Amino acid sequence: MGEIEKDGKVLVIKRIHVTYTLKGVEGDEDREKAERAHGFHADYCPVARSIRDSIAITTELSYA
């Protein structure tokens, strides 16, 4: 989900919120691994690294 604001006469994306829905996560060990990866994944994501200085990015985990 993104939040768009007007900057002068131009619409600009200001914030992005991503919800990752994980399937097949069973037990505490799998959840711990998912939480650990979620904690640092954006540092290794080319898209996140490219836009993080201009667009606020938040994320959360959901389990199906």
pLDDT digits (tens, 9 = 90+) for 16-25: 999 999 999 9
Among candidates 59, 63, 29, which has minimal Cα distance to 43? 59
Output the pTM of the full model: 0.77
What's the structural domain count of the chain? 1
Sign of the four-CA dihedral 53, 54, 56, 57? negative
Which structural domain, as residue segments, surrounds residue 47?
2-63
Beta strands at 10-22 and 2-7: parallel, antiparallel or unpaired: antiparallel
pLDDT tens digits, one per residue of 12-64:
999 999 999 999 998 999 999 999 999 999 999 999 999 999 999 999 999 98
Report how far residue 41's alpha carbon sits from residue 52's, in angstroms, rounded to the nearest whole number.
13
